[in-house]
Amino acid sequence: MLPAEFVARCKRHRVVLSVVFLLIFPLVMPFKAIAVNILIYGLFALGFNLLFGTLGLLSFGHAALFGGGAYACGIAIVHYGAPWWLGIFAGLLGGMLIAAIIGALAIRTRGIYFAMVTLALAQCVYFVAYQASDFTGGENGLRGIDVRDINLFGLHINFVDPLNRYYVVAAFVAAALFVLSRILASPFGAVLEAVRENEARARACGYDVRATRFVAFVISGGFCGLAGALQALHLSIVPIETLYYQTSGLVVMMALLGGMGTFFGPFIGAGVFLLLENLVSLWTVHWQLVVGAAFVACVLFFPRGIWGTILLGRAK
C-alpha cells in the first residue's frame, strides 16, 4: 500500500502519469505486439469499468460493444473504402449505437438480471453478424482491413512498423484517458458516484437513475467501440469470436484483476492477463488453468484487484 498523500497527489496528475507510462512502456516491453494488445484490451476494460466500477453495473455483454466497434470500423474500410480515421470514428459510433440499443433494454433490470439480459442481447448481435456473412464475412471473420500508412495533417507514419503502431494506438488511448478523467471529474461524474452510492437518495435528490445509467452505458460503448476499431486495424481482420461471450468474460476478468473502479487498473489487469497468457502458454498448453487459478486467487485474496491493492492496501 502506498502512502495516502502520495496516492492523492498522483490522482491529481493521473492523466499525465498515465501518458508517461504509455510512452515508456514499449521500451521496457520486449514484445511490441503484446504491448499493443495490452493497450487495446486495457481500453476495452476501461470502458467496461466505467459501468462496473463507477456505477456498479455488471454487464456480460460487452463483447457486442467491442466487436460492434471492430466490425463498424472494418466494414467502413473494407466495404466503403473509408480512410483509417473514418474507420476509427465509425468504430466509436458503432460501439455507442449498439450500447444505446442494448442499454435501452437492459437498464430496466438490475444485478443478475442485468448481466443475463446484456449477455442474451450480445449473443443476438453475434448471431446477426454470423448470419450476415456478405457483410461481415460470417464465421470466417471480416478480412482485408489493410491499413499500412497513417496520414494525418501531412504527417506520414508507417503503420506496419511495430513501434509506430504502438504509438498510434497509444495516442488514442491517451486521448481516451483524458476524456475519462474529464468525465469522472464532471458534474455527471458526481451523479455516477451518487447513483452507485445510494440509488434511492440519488432519485430523491432529483436524478433520473435510469437515464444516468443509459448515458453511462452509451459512453462505455464509445470507449469499447474505439478499442474494437483499434483492434480491427491492429489485426487487419475481425474474427467472429470478437463478438462471442468469451470476449465479454475476458473483459470482466481483466477489470477485476486490475481493480474495479480504479483509473489505471484496467490496463494493469489487461497487461497481467495477456502477459500471463503469453508466458504460460510457452511451456504448457493448459495455460488457461494457470491463468484461471491466478484470477481466482486474486479475487479471493485481493478483492480490490492488483492496482486497487497497490493504491489502497488490502480490503479488510
Partner 1 sequence: MSDIILTTEGVAKSFGKFRALSGITASFPRGKLTAIIGPNGAGKSTYFNLISGAFPPSAGRIVFEGRDITGTAQHRYAALGIAKSFQITTVFPQVTVLENVRVALQALVSRFNIWMPRGDLAGLAEKAADLLNVVGISQHRERLAGSLAHGEQRALEIAMALASNPRLLLLDEPTAGMSPEETRSMMDLIVKLASERTVILVEHKMKLVMGISDRLLVLHHGELLAEGTPDDIRRNETVKRVYLGQREH
Binding footprint of partner 1 on the chain (CB under 8 A):
182-183, 185-191, 193-194, 197-198, 200-201, 203-209, 211-212, 215, 219
Cβ-based nearer residue to partner 1, 2 or 211: 211
Q: Supply 97's cell numbers.
A: 449505437
Could you give the CA distance from residue 129 to residue 139 in angstroms, rounded to a whole number?
9
Measured from the CB of residue 53, what is the shortest distance to partner 1 in angstroms?
A: 13
Q: From residue 130, how far is each of 17, 221, 229, 315 by CA, in Å?
A: 41, 21, 19, 43
How do strand 237-238 and strand 142-143 relate by DSSP bridges? antiparallel
Q: From residue 104, how far is each of 94, 101, 115, 200, 215 by CA, in Å?
A: 15, 5, 14, 21, 10
Amino acid (1-letter code) at residue 316: K
Cβ-based nearer residue to partner 1, 146 or 197: 197
Sign of CA dihedral 160, 42, 138, 129: negative
Measured from the CB of residue 263, what is the shortest distance to partner 1 in angstroms?
A: 16
Cβ-based nearer residue to partner 1, 32 or 110: 110
DSSP single-letter state for residue 157: E
Measured from the CB of residue 223, what is the shortest distance to partner 1 in angstroms?
A: 13
- Compute CA 107 distance to the chain's CA centroid, rounded to the nearest angstrom: 20
Cβ-based nearer residue to partner 1, 7 or 163: 7
Measured from the CB of residue 214, what is the shortest distance to partner 1 in angstroms?
A: 10
Q: Supply 296's cell numbers.
A: 481466482
Measured from the CB of residue 212, what is the shortest distance to partner 1 in angstroms?
A: 8
Burial state string for 4-35 with b = 16 or more CB within 10 A and e = fewer than 16:
eeeeeeeeeebbebbbeebeebbeeeeeeebb
Cβ-based nearer residue to partner 1, 15 or 34: 15
Measured from the CB of residue 194, what is the shortest distance to partner 1 in angstroms?
A: 5
Please, what is the Cα angle at 270 between 186 and 150, to 5 degrees?
Answer: 80
Cβ-based nearer residue to partner 1, 204 or 282: 204
Measured from the CB of residue 293, what is the shortest distance to partner 1 in angstroms?
A: 32
Cβ-based nearer residue to partner 1, 23 or 205: 205
